[in-house]
Amino acid sequence: MRCHTLPVPEDRSILSRPGPPPDAEVAYGAHPDQVIDCYLPRAGHAVAERPSVVFIHGGFWRPEYDRDHARNAAAALAQAGFPTALIEYRRIPGDPDAMVADVHMALGAVASGLTPLPEGPVMVVGHSAGGHLALVLAADPHASVAGCLALAPVGDLAAGQELALDDDAVTAFLGADARDRPDLDPARLPSPLRPTVIVHGIADSVVPIHLSRSLATANTLVALDDVGHFELIDPTSAAWPALLRQLLGITSAGSIE
């Protein structure tokens, strides 16, 4: 049965809510934005060898939005038993390849044990524009990704460009027409090579859910009723337990080893 939930005013409070400082900060490159905030589970936490998580923040790929607003989510993932690397990356309008290169480098730094996180399988979690980057990684055979959870991703660049999301953020990100960069458009990339789940709020008015519905044939799509865009990175929201369930489901799918 089709749900007709309408968009509601977005709760943006998580964007200005201070988050816990990381347990460690590690540089993976020479640029000031090539840095990783590391959040570790507390000693004695009962965790059955849960994999590390690389979290990619959103912000429509714009330089004014950094990782600070995602620190609450990263800390909450660590509290749930997932060692978490909240990565920063260069956000240079018109230079998408620099962003993709950075997330690859940060992912490799975590997977190879260059941070305090355990060396081994790495899950990638991304929100909004970070969800887009997570989906790009999940489809790349060379990326060290064991599974992917994309939260309200801009997963269809061509559709996002047609909608001129956030003052034409897709065009600003690419510096080109989306049709000229199918290599960066999850809707046009091959199916992800790892277990991939997309979680999207039906009431999202920032990135409409139909951008994820176009990806549903190649991925698992979990549509959450009465949920907007930012609840997915707010550990105090009613949507947060659903996110954890999906992450645990990917972890226990039998392919994270």
* Model confidence pLDDT, tens digit, residues 17-73: 999 999 999 999 999 999 999 999 986 554 556 899 999 999 999 999 999 999 999
Using alpha carbons, select from 211, 35, 178, 23 the residue that is nearest to residue 96. Answer: 178
Cβ-contact 200, 179 below 8 angstroms? no
Instruction: Provide the residue type at 158 as one letter.
Output: A
Domain boundary assignment for the chain? 13-251
- CB hemisphere CA count around 60 (13 angstroms): 16
pTM of the model: 0.93
- CB hemisphere CA count around 244 (13 angstroms): 18
pLDDT for 45 equals: 55
First-last CA distance in the chain: 37
Mean pLDDT of all residues in the chain? 92
- Kindly state the tokens that stand for 191: 């199916």
β-partners of residue 221 are 198
pLDDT for 256 equals: 47
pLDDT for 6 equals: 52
Q: Is it the case that residue 10 has pLDDT exceeding 50?
A: yes
Cβ-contact 230, 10 below 8 angstroms? yes
pLDDT for 44 equals: 57
Check residue 81 and give left, alpha or beta (phi > 0: left; psi -120 to 50: alpha): left
Q: What is the pLDDT of residues 183-210, one digit of tens each?
A: 999 999 998 989 999 999 999 999 999 9
- To which H or E segment does residue 78 belong? helix 71-79
The CATH code for residues 13-251 is 3.40.50.1820
pLDDT for 152 equals: 98
pLDDT for 193 equals: 87
| HEC letters along 140-197 | CCCCCCCEEEEECCCCCHHHHHHHCHHHHHHHHHHCCCHHHCHHHCCCCCCCCCCCEE
pLDDT for 205 equals: 96
